[in-house]
Each structure stands twice: as C-alpha cells, then as structure tokens.
Amino acid sequence: MDQPLSSTAQAKKAKKRRKESSLWWMYLPSVLLVLLFIVYPFLDGIRISLTNWNGFSQVYDYVGFEQYKRMFADPDTWLVVKNTLLYGIGSTVLQNIIGLGYALLLNHHLKVRTLTRTIIYLPVIISPLVMGYIWYFFFAYQGGALNDIYNWLGLDPVNALGNPDVNPYIIVFVNTFQFVGVAMIIYLAGLQSISKEYYEAANIDGASSWSKFKNITLPLLAPAITINVVINIIGGLKLFDVIVSLTNGGPGNASQSMSTFMYSLYFARQDAGYAATQGVLMAVIILVLSLAALFYLKRKEVEA
C-alpha cells in the first residue's frame, strides 16, 4: 500500500496484529510430542539404515548403502514385500466389495438392520491380536473348529495355518472380517447422502437397476470409495497384530509382513541397521501406494 495510513487505521492494524498472535503455547506440547516420538525417530531411522548397528553396542560403523544392497539381494525381502502387498491390496479389494455389498443391503430399511450392522461392526472394537486368537480356534490344526467339520465329513484334518500356500490368504480373510464394518459404515453414510431425486428421475427414464447403480450410486459414492481405499491400504500394509496371533509370521518367514519381519530382525536377530533399512522401505511403499491411490481416486472424483 502506497498511501500513508491514517493514525486510526494504523492503530487498527496494530490491534489486528496483536490479536493475530499465534497462541503458540497452546500447541507447544503437541508439537513437542510429535517431534520427539514421530518425526525424530523417523529421521533417525534413515540414519541408522546407513549403519551396521546391532541394536545395543556403543560402536558401529557407517556403511553407506550396504544395507540397501543387502536388502535388495535378500530373497526374504521380496517374499515379505509380496505378502505385505497381498495383505494391503487383498484386504482393500475384499473390504470394499463386501463392505459396499453390505451397505447396499442395509440401506433398505430392513427390520434386522441395526442387529446386522452391530454384529458386522463388532470386531472393529476388538483388539486385532484377540481377533487373531479367535480365528486361531477356528483354523487350528489340533482341536480347531474347521477340522471338526472335516472330521464329520470323514476327511483328513488340514493344517491351514501351517501351510505357507494358504495362510497368507487366511490372514487377508481375518483382516477383512475384522474391518469390513468400517467400510460398510462409511458406505452407508455415503448412500444416505445421495438424494432420492436422482433415482426417481432414473425410474421415469426406465433405467435398469444396474444402470442406476453404475451411473448414480457409484459416481456419487466416489468420496466414500476414496476414504475407504486409502484407510484400508494403509491398514493392510502395516498389518502386525493379527499375523502375530495367527501364524507368528511362519512357517519360516512364509506369512511375515514387513512389520513383523522388521520386528524379528531387530529383537530376534539384533540386526538393527538392517531392520531400520526395512523400515525405510516399508515407509516408502506405504507412502507411495497410499498417495497414488489418493491422487488417482481424487482425480476420478472430479471426473465423476
């Protein structure tokens, strides 16, 4: 502004500046906690990934990108990444399809709606570790409920949790069972925000159920789809508890996710530098996939 300010305007501006103090003391404790427990460890993890530290010794060396070379040459890395992607993407696909199906069903004003919604949502509030144990009782080789059925049918019992070809899928199934309620609730909220007028107009045009679903419901659910996909991808990629209780990552490393693999590298093998390197890879994978999904779906939302 070129014009000199009148004294009252100046006073006003000064007052405004005074009023616009940042009140920084109000968020100081929050900033300190987040810096200390999240930002600092995250950055320090990158530093440790460049060392050969064993997790307790005072002495260690910076080894440059040796741990990264080791990681990319390690066949376990690729097995674990493959599992992690299966957990992340598999659970996301299943939770969204089934969650949307449940939401469409419950969007009809059925008498059993509250009951069904409650039961489907219930596992969300139970610890994933406990949920893993509950399903362990179902799938356990000895005394599991599944083998009781096999027994009645005169079939040999199966060791589903000990079979590396099967158990990653059981983990996807249990994770889906546990969190499908979240997707369902978010889709239900989305469905209820769609105005009935669209459907009435489509009915006048004689549109089929499928075309109404494809042309009205899906596009208008786009924001709900975005939220669900991003939440589920992040949740599935960092899966930990349920694996511990169902298979403990085994047999061998067969059902290990990046989280559980990192844990065993650090605590069981004292390979802290390498564990930190795996941590960096995990952060990169989660960031890239969740942001890619977010941007892709946001663009779709605009087009829709």
Partner 1 sequence: MNQVSKRAKWYLTAVALVITLLHLIPYYILLTTAFKRAGDFSSKWLFPDYFSLENFTNAWEQANLSNAFMNTFVITFFAAAMLILFGSLAAYALARRQTRLNKYVYMLFVAVMVIPPLTALVPLYQLVVDVGLMNTRLVAVLNNVAAFLPLTIFLYAGFIRSTVPKELEEAAKMDGASTIGIFFRVVFPLLKPITATVLILSCVYIWNDYQFAIFFLQDSDMHTLTVALASFFGQNTSQLGLVGAAALIASLPMVFLFLFLQRFFIEGLAAGSVKG
Question: In angstroms, rounded to a whole number, what is the distance separating the alpha carbons of residues 208 and 219?
Answer: 16
The least distance separating partner 1 from the CB of residue 43, rounded to whole angstroms, comes to 8
Cβ within 8 Å of residue 192, ≥6 positions away: 107
Instruction: Report the residue number, 3 or 208, with the smaller CB distance to partner 1.
Output: 208
The least distance separating partner 1 from the CB of residue 182, rounded to whole angstroms, comes to 7
The least distance separating partner 1 from the CB of residue 95, rounded to whole angstroms, comes to 14
Question: In angstroms, rounded to a whole number, what is the distance separating the alpha carbons of residues 73 and 283?
Answer: 19
Structure tokens at 74: 């390690």
Structure tokens at 65: 């990108």
For residue 210, state whether it binds partner 1 (rule: CB under 8 A): no
Binders of partner 1 among residues 129 to 168 (CB under 8 A) are: 129-131, 133-138, 140, 142-145, 148-149, 151
For residue 68, state whether it binds partner 1 (rule: CB under 8 A): no
Structure tokens at 300: 């779709």
Whole-number Cα distances in Å, 167 to 33, 38, 258: 38, 33, 16
Q: Does residue 300 contact residue 96 with C-beta atoms inside 8 Å?
A: no
CA dihedral 69, 73, 75, 78 (to 10 degrees): 60
E-strand spans in 46-159? none
For residue 209, state whether it binds partner 1 (rule: CB under 8 A): yes
| Count of residues engaged in binding partner 1, rule: CB under 8 A | 102
Q: Does residue 63 contact residue 50 with C-beta atoms inside 8 Å?
A: yes
For residue 61, state whether it binds partner 1 (rule: CB under 8 A): no
Among 68, 74, 107, 173, binds partner 1 (CB under 8 A): 107
Among 81, 227, 229, 254, binds partner 1 (CB under 8 A): 227
For residue 225, state whether it binds partner 1 (rule: CB under 8 A): no
Question: Quick one: DSSP state of residue 213?
Answer: I
The least distance separating partner 1 from the CB of residue 279, rounded to whole angstroms, comes to 4
Question: In angstroms, rounded to a whole number, what is the distance separating the alpha carbons of residues 110 and 82?
Answer: 41
Give kind and range of the element (H or E) at residue 22.
none
Instruction: Report the residue number, 86 or 261, with the smaller CB distance to partner 1.
Output: 261
The least distance separating partner 1 from the CB of residue 165, rounded to whole angstroms, comes to 23
Among 73, 112, 268, 302, binds partner 1 (CB under 8 A): 112
Binders of partner 1 among residues 20 to 59 (CB under 8 A) are: 20-24, 26-27, 29-31, 33-34, 36-42, 44-45, 47-48, 55
For residue 8, state whether it binds partner 1 (rule: CB under 8 A): no
Angle ∠(265,268,269) on CA atoms, nearest 5 = 55
Structure tokens at 211: 């075309």
The burial of 5, by beta-carbon neighbours within 10 Å (0-12 exposed, 13-18 middle, 19 or more buried), is given as: exposed
Instruction: Report the residue number, 166 or 283, with the smaller CB distance to partner 1.
Output: 283
The least distance separating partner 1 from the CB of residue 237, rounded to whole angstroms, comes to 8
Binders of partner 1 among residues 242 to 281 (CB under 8 A) are: 244-245, 259, 262-263, 266, 272, 275-276, 279-280
Binders of partner 1 among residues 76 to 105 (CB under 8 A) are: 102, 105
